[in-house]
Structure 1
Amino acid sequence: MVSITSIISMIITIILSIGFPIIIGIYFYRKHKMSLWPVAVGAFVFILFVMILERRMHNYLLFTNFNTSTFLENPWAYAIYGSFAAGIFEECGRFLAYITLLRKKRSWTDGIAFGIGHGGIEAILIGGMTAIQNLILSININLGNINALNKYNMPSAMIERIKSSLIDTPSYAFLVPGIERMFVIFIQIGLSVLVLQGVKNKKYIYLLYAILLHALIDFPAALFQKGMLTNIWAIEGWVAIASILLLLFTLRSKSNFGGEKGEIQDEI
């Protein structure tokens, strides 16, 4: 049986992953006249550059190509590769969107809107959908309906591994992704504002700063995936610190966009 605590943690993660970006979006839409077009573009960029293009590169380099897959079995090589791949694809995606689809969107609020779309769809697809899948599987396990997995044509050994994983995983592990998604949204907003500031002021070195910062934030998580780091709370603490710092940057950067109505600094 999957514990009730684990199921509650999954439900909370679903609520946080889906509800939090919606709440932030509603706040900025109502209070700061946020345009919805950058939100849509931000979501589109994440799907195209991360879910499609970056994943295809990962599939080739990590699985298809024997030479690169062998080399990237080294944890440090994998961590460097993975963190920089995320930084390059996501930040270049932002940059290209700003100079094409968002040529006339150069305000501070537009940068935040892009970040909400980018981080929001990431939270929904990675945090929310995974938690929903885990919840459905857990309910089936508790109802004794584990054979429902057969419709996915899974080998029986894989079904048993999934079952054991859901039963044996500590309850808090199902809650961590939901909390992490909230922090990551502020990271995505901060990086979106940073790249837009560079585009607006024609300081394209900011794109390099965003790539390096993104890679630095992701590097410990990549090491964790390879077992080089084992303390999940240290990883989440690192993400939380990065989130707070980028939130402060976002608030302070408003003056660099020429000033807009609705000072958020006075409201937080």
Structure 2
Amino acid sequence: MISTFTMSGMVIQLLISLLFPIGLLIYFRKKQLFSWKPLGVGILIFILFSQILEKALHFIMIDSSGTSLKWSDSVFLFVLYATLAAGIFEEFGRYVGFKWMLKKHREYKDGLSFGLGHGGIEAILIGMFGAINALVLATLINSGAFDQMIANALPADQAALLKEKLINTRFWEYVLAGLERVFAIAIHIAMSLLVLLGIRENRFIFVIYAVLLHALLDVIPALYQIGVVANIWLAELVIAIFGITALIFTMRIRKRFQV
């Protein structure tokens, strides 16, 4: 059984993942720091580059366990591939968006809006829908319908693993997952501004910086994913530090866009 208290954590994750980007959109509009087209392009770029192109490459490169490459058991190579793939696809996606789709939208507010679109849709697809999925499965487990509806559709070991994971995931882990989306949005906004600044100042090296920073951010989470790092607090701390640093960068870089 999954307690009501734990399920309330899923609801909190859902609400944070949905309401934070909406609240940020309202705030940006109120402060006249918002533009609809960059928001839409940010959403499109995330779906195309992260959810379609990057995942297509993962299908070729990563085995079914999701924790190693098909052609090597090396942890180092897996982490190197996973982190660089994330950095290259997402940051070059931003570059493509600003360079060719937003030629007339290169102000500070456009970078904010693009980052909000990119990070906001990620929060909804991963945070909100992840929470909804967990709520549905938890309800099925508590009602006794999981074994009939889900277990019959999956191999026995996968169904058992999924059920065990849901039962053992605690309230605070869902809350952490929601808060992670907040920091992730801050990071996406900062990265979008960094790439946009590189385009404005004709300094492609800024795009490379964004790729490397993105890859660096993902190292500890990738190690946590494959079990090398067992402490979830360490993984979340790294994301929080990057998120706070990204927020500071976002505020301080505004002057560069006013030149």
TM-score, normalized by length of structure 2? 0.93
Match of 2:99 in 1: 99
**8 Å Cα contact 2:45/2:97 also seen in 1:** yes
Matched, 1:78 2:74: no
Match of 1:69 in 2: 70
Counterpart amino acid of residue 184 in structure 1: A
How far did 1:163 drift?
2.2
Secondary structure of the structure 1 residue equivalent to 2:119: helix
- Measured in 2, the distance between the counterparts of 1:38 and 1:151 equals 43
Moved beyond 6 Å, runs of 4+: none
Q: Mark the runs of 5 or more structure 1 residues left unpaired by the alignment.
A: 260-268
- Measured in 1, the distance between the counterparts of 2:33 and 2:239 equals 29
Inter-CA distance 220–150: structure 2 relative to 1 (3 Å threshold): closer
Match of 2:47 in 1: 47
Secondary structure of the structure 1 residue equivalent to 2:230: coil
Match of 1:218 in 2: 218
Residues 130-139 or 144-153, more deviating = 144-153
Matched, 1:159 2:159: yes
How far did 1:166 drift?
1.2
- Measured in 2, the distance between the counterparts of 1:226 and 1:139 equals 28
**8 Å Cα contact 1:3/1:171 also seen in 2:** no
* Structure 1 vs Structure 2 CA RMSD: 1.8
Superposed CA offset, 1:171-217 (max 9, x none)? 32222211101110000000000000110111111000100111111
Match of 2:26 in 1: 26
Counterparts of 1:110-189 in structure 2 under 5 Å? 110-147=110-147, 149-150=149-150, 153-189=153-189
**8 Å Cα contact 1:149/1:159 also seen in 2:** no
- Measured in 1, the distance between the counterparts of 2:258 and 2:108 equals 9
- Measured in 1, the distance between the counterparts of 2:158 and 2:78 equals 26
How far did 1:235 drift?
1.1
Q: Mark the runs of 5 or more structure 2 residues left unpaired by the alignment.
A: none
Inter-CA distance 250–184: structure 2 relative to 1 (3 Å threshold): same
TM-score, normalized by length of structure 1? 0.90
How far did 1:11 drift?
0.3
Counterpart amino acid of residue 2 in structure 2: V
Superposed CA offset, 1:107-161 (max 9, x none)? 0010000000000001110111111000011112212222563498324443333
- Identity among equivalent pairs (%): 39
Counterpart amino acid of residue 174 in structure 1: Y
User: How many residues in Structure 1 have an aligned counterpart in Structure 2?
Assistant: 256
**8 Å Cα contact 1:108/1:257 also seen in 2:** yes
Match of 1:59 in 2: 59
Counterpart amino acid of residue 218 in structure 2: D
Match of 2:192 in 1: 192
Match of 2:232 in 1: 232
